[in-house]
A and B are shown apart, each in its own frame.
Chain A
Amino acid sequence: MRSIFKASAAALLSTSMLAGAAFAQDLSGTLRIISDMSNPAPRATMEQLAADFDALHPNLEVELEIVDREAWKTQIRNALTANAPDVVNWYAANRMTPYVNAGLFEDISDMYANGDLPGLDAVKGAMTLDGKQWGVPYTYYQWGIYYREDIFNELGLEEPMTFEQELANCEKIVASGRACYAIGTKFLWTAGGWFDYLNMRTNGFDFHMQLARGEVEWTDPRVRETFANWRKIIDMGGYIADHQSYSWQEALKFMTDGEAASYLIGNFAVPHLREAGLSDEQIDFYQFPKIADVPQGEDAPTDTFHIPANASNKEAARAFLQYVTSAEVQSDINGGDKLGQLPVNANSSVDADEFLEQGFEMLSTNAQGGVAQFFDRDFPAEMASVGMEGLQEFMVFPDNLDDILQRMEDARQRIY
């Protein structure tokens, strides 16, 4: 009884304090953050973020530990259970499920409810499981087709609006001795992006989500239609050869060398393309074209901050989440010289960057279908791993489709 009283008193204290002055000066103790932002630019951003927050609160000491992004995907389990830090990085949607179910993430629905997090209404859905919110997003990015503008000009091609135009373009690109699309499927997930888009365009966003929730059979004729559309690209030689041997970074070379004209990928590929020497006149972006007459759904994976349930300084952690998601900080950290992605706060400004502006425009006006996270975040983990393996196989041996779908269907029946 006493502990309940203490907990609620503490909660009351912290919320009233946060609501009063946005960044209260009287936070004290240590705030331990473990972040997975290990790539150079994100790392610098995260270090800056921690230092700024530290400077804002003289009595608070911020301890930042940055972990390799891939390693963190398995380390988080230990981190959350033993000697938990106060703030951790993770991903939105289904990827939160194991930790929410095990009670390892702090429920922060109250922060959304009492207005501590203004401007986050649009992204709240991605943080919601079981009707509660379990963390805050700090960045997201669009997916779409990045293409070589100079090759398109040379061949006299336009940005396609429909799948027919897309295929017609592709035919001309293939005829010029290039591949239409670079892709590296060695680590499987890139194939998930293609499936997401083809399925959302063929059958709509809602159907795609039903499939993700396991409500539709993989052998359903509608799913087959998606694969039939996919096969059109495969059969015309649209993809680079031997893509199963490359990572997505290795496949970028095909695009920078001009051997492939475009790449369906997230905005995180843009800095790499620029570094490889392509100017902004040479690269451009278009939304994945329409196939059927359904509202367009988009993939826009969201990265997040969470408070572990076993954190010791939750008060400071909550203040940090509030700080990270505030409009100014969001505009700042997502700028082109930092993360180079989209801010999650509706009141933030998008950096003046060709791709960020187009992506923001697309997601805010032209994604009426809905915004998905990504194949490996929307589908449960086991379904995602069986599924992506099947998708890769389909891209290499499209004739095995029946077998692949049967395997995925068997997995679906077992998993859900």
Chain B
Amino acid sequence: MTVMADTPKPVKPRGWYKRNEIAITPFLFLLPAVIFFSVYVIIPIFQSFWISFHEWDGLGEKTWVGTANYERLLGGDRKFEVSFWNNLRWLFLYLLAIPLGLSIALLLNQKVRGIRLYKSMFFFPFVLSQVVVGLVFSWFYLPREGLLNAILQFFGMGTVNILGDPSLATYGIIAAGLWPQTAYCMILYLTGLNAVDPEQVEAARLDGAKGLRMLWHVILPQLKPATFIAFVVTIIGALRSFDFIAVMTNGGPFGSTRVLSFYMFEESLSEFGFRMGYGAAIAVVLFFLMLIFIAYFLWSMYRDEKGAR
């Protein structure tokens, strides 16, 4: 600019964009993502809030009903209560995938001929579609022909119809869900174990640490990032457990295996559904439940990053 100062003719000033290029470009790069994220995620969230205050069949006019949907939902809707408790069962029992995955990872973390083959075999269930896993497990549980009952009978025990018994069905589905989820956690820990510092292990060994003490005080602290990710994916997986339920029991017997996401689907989008307002109200409740966890994860990630700096 100063170069031009001594020329008599005033130069054409540089364009607005050129002058602000540095400040604007990052936003331009962000723009496509922001647009799509808002159109497909952010705006629908607020639409759900809005719909949840209405009664709407998805076709005609919406009728404003205020908080009536929430009053019905939280004021003793038995289906909601069943779904909510099932969600909690999922949350706690699904976390078993983490210790299970860790123990398999420790087992497989050795240099043996063909270990890659074993690893991929253990990882296999995670590659399968959840629908396929659900279907296979529902055959496994079949009351007469199922493999489970064949095994029980071989050991002289009575048969059991897990998916047909309202007090057992949810646990049966969670067990099916644990199979691929364990594989997922295993792979997370296997990569984590690669990053364990051999010098620290050596040092600990010289100090006489072995077995569980070694695991607890030396290995696990180094696996903290893997554990964190395993927690996140498992909890989110538990909250969106939908495919297994739809395939294995369709919410039955008599609605005993419903979870909130399935109940939401049933109310709003299934064959006998299209009560969009009520479905949206369930979605909002589920959203806040998830938000508790997500907020916690975001907060702890933020804290870690700040600590790292």
Q: Select from chain B the residue with minimum beta-carbon distance to A414.
A: B72
B108 to chain A, nearest CB (A): 36
24 contacts between A and B (CB under 8 A): A73-B271, A98-B274, A99-B59, A102-B59, A104-B59, A186-B249, A187-B250, A188-B252, A241-B143, A242-B143, A242-B144, A242-B164, A244-B164, A245-B142, A245-B143, A245-B164, A245-B253, A381-B272, A384-B272, A385-B270, A385-B272, A390-B254, A392-B254, A393-B254
- Set of chain A residues within 8 Å of B252, measured between Cβ atoms: 186, 188, 244, 389, 392
- Set of chain A residues within 8 Å of B59, measured between Cβ atoms: 77, 81, 98-99, 101-102, 104
Tell me, yes or no, whether B282 is within 8 Å of chain A by CB.
no
Number of interface residues of B (CB under 8 A): 26
Known: A77-B58, A99-B59, A102-B60. A381 touches B253 (CB 8 A): no
A95 to chain B, nearest CB (A): 10
CA distance A389 to B257 in the complex (A): 13
A206 to chain B, nearest CB (A): 25
Instruction: Scan residues 228-276 of chain B and give those whose CB is less than 8 A from a CB of chain A.
Output: 249-250, 252-255, 266, 269-275
A48 to chain B, nearest CB (A): 28
Tell me, yes or no, whether A279 is within 8 Å of chain B by CB.
no
The residue from A186, A241, A381, A414 contacting B274, defined by CB atoms under 8 A apart: A381
Known: A77-B58, A102-B57. A244 touches B253 (CB 8 A): yes
The residue from B254, B269, B270, B273 contacting A389, defined by CB atoms under 8 A apart: B254
B292 to chain A, nearest CB (A): 30
Q: Select from chain B the residue with minimum beta-carbon distance to A73.
A: B271
**A245-B142, A384-B272, A414-B72 given; 14 more Cβ-contact pairs under 8 Å:** A70-B271, A73-B271, A77-B58, A81-B59, A98-B57, A98-B59, A102-B60, A186-B249, A245-B163, A376-B272, A385-B266, A389-B254, A389-B255, A390-B254
Complex contact B273–A407 (CB within 8 A): no
The residue from A81, A241, A393 contacting B253, defined by CB atoms under 8 A apart: A393
Instruction: Scan residues 80-108 of chain A and give those whose CB is less than 8 A from a CB of chain B.
Output: 81, 98-99, 101-102, 104
Interchain pairs with CB closer than 8 A, number:
65
The residue from B142, B161, B249, B273 contacting A381, defined by CB atoms under 8 A apart: B273
Tell me, yes or no, whether B78 is within 8 Å of chain A by CB.
yes
CA distance A102 to B164 in the complex (A): 39
Complex contact B272–A382 (CB within 8 A): yes
Max count, chain A CB within 10 A of own CB: residue among B58, B144, B272: B272
Tell me, yes or no, whether A153 is within 8 Å of chain B by CB.
no
Known: A74-B269, A74-B271, A98-B59. A396 touches B144 (CB 8 A): no
Max count, chain A CB within 10 A of own CB: residue among B72, B249, B253, B274: B253
- Set of chain B residues within 8 Å of A101, measured between Cβ atoms: 59-60
CA distance A389 to B263 in the complex (A): 14
Interface residues, chain B, CB within 8 Å of chain A? 57-60, 72, 78, 142-144, 161, 163-164, 249-250, 252-255, 266, 269-275
CA distance A371 to B163 in the complex (A): 36
CA distance A241 to B274 in the complex (A): 34
- Set of chain A residues within 8 Å of B144, measured between Cβ atoms: 242
B245 to chain A, nearest CB (A): 13
CA distance A360 to B272 in the complex (A): 30
CA distance A134 to B233 in the complex (A): 50
Q: Select from chain B the residue with minimum beta-carbon distance to A392.
A: B254
A257 to chain B, nearest CB (A): 11
- Set of chain A residues within 8 Å of B273, measured between Cβ atoms: 381, 385
- Set of chain A residues within 8 Å of B143, measured between Cβ atoms: 241-242, 245
Instruction: Scan residues 92-137 of chain A and give those whose CB is less than 8 A from a CB of chain B.
Output: 98-99, 101-102, 104
- Set of chain B residues within 8 Å of A104, measured between Cβ atoms: 59
Instruction: Scan residues 206-249 of chain A and give those whose CB is less than 8 A from a CB of chain B.
Output: 241-242, 244-245
- Set of chain A residues within 8 Å of B58, measured between Cβ atoms: 77
- Set of chain B residues within 8 Å of A77, measured between Cβ atoms: 58-59, 274
Max count, chain B CB within 10 A of own CB: residue among A98, A101, A242, A393: A242
- Set of chain A residues within 8 Å of B72, measured between Cβ atoms: 414
Render A356-384 as a binary contact track against B, CB cut-off 8 A, 1 for contact.
Answer: 00000000000000000000100001101
Q: Select from chain B the residue with minimum beta-carbon distance to A80.
A: B59
Complex contact A407–B164 (CB within 8 A): no
- Set of chain B residues within 8 Å of A99, measured between Cβ atoms: 59
- Set of chain A residues within 8 Å of B60, measured between Cβ atoms: 101-102
B64 to chain A, nearest CB (A): 18
Render A384-407 as a binary contact track against B, CB cut-off 8 A, 1 for contact.
Answer: 110001101100100000000001
The residue from A242, A385, A389 contacting B161, defined by CB atoms under 8 A apart: A242
Complex contact A396–B272 (CB within 8 A): no
CA distance A23 to B51 in the complex (A): 47
CA distance A414 to B79 in the complex (A): 15
A381 to chain B, nearest CB (A): 4
Max count, chain A CB within 10 A of own CB: residue among B59, B161, B250, B274: B59
Instruction: Scan residues 43-97 of chain A and give those whose CB is less than 8 A from a CB of chain B.
Output: 70, 73-74, 77, 81
- Set of chain A residues within 8 Å of B163, measured between Cβ atoms: 245
CA distance A393 to B256 in the complex (A): 10
